[in-house]
Amino acid sequence: MSWELILSTVVGILTGGGSVTWLFKLREDKGKSEADAIGTAADAMTKLLNNAAQQQETFNKIIEGKDKIIEQQLILIENYKSALDEANRKMKELEYKVADNDRKIAGMQKMIETAINERRTAEAMSCFNEDCKTRKGKEDVGI
């Protein structure tokens, strides 16, 4: 029991015939208490709903921000893929050029080796003696 109820009871008993009024007063106080409790609960519910709405807004903003980040990351991935494809294309082109240059160098090397061998053969067959048959030729020897 609350102190108001005790006080009302004592006053009602002391005044005598006011017991009916006292009962109505108790009902009125009880009604006010219930109304206050309901009002307080309604205020609390309103605050909770407002808080939930704010949290939902914040959550939606976070999701929207994450969606933008995901979209940006997808664009970056596509750009990286394009750059990688371009790099692979250039690498294959350079590999082809290196292979072509290797082929050309091998051909030039063969030509140089052939020229060196022909020069060695020519030097081996050369004669520095003026009376040599090889040096003079067929007409000079009388063949």
Separation CA 121–CA 115 (nearest Å): 10
The burial class, CB within 10 Å (0-12 / 13-18 / 19+), for 22 is middle
Q: Give me the amino acid identity at 75.
A: I
pLDDT for 92: 97
Q: pLDDT truncated to tens, each residue of the chain (143 aa)? A: 565 666 666 655 655 545 555 555 555 655 566 667 677 878 888 888 899 899 999 999 999 999 999 999 999 999 999 999 999 999 999 999 999 999 999 999 999 999 999 998 887 777 777 777 666 555 544 44
How wide is the angle at C-alpha 101 spanned by C-alphas 94 and 106, nearest 5°? 150
How does 23-49 read in b/e, with b if 16+ C-beta sit within 10 Å?
A: eebeeeeeeeeeeeeeeeeeeeeeeee
pLDDT for 141: 47
pLDDT for 14: 58
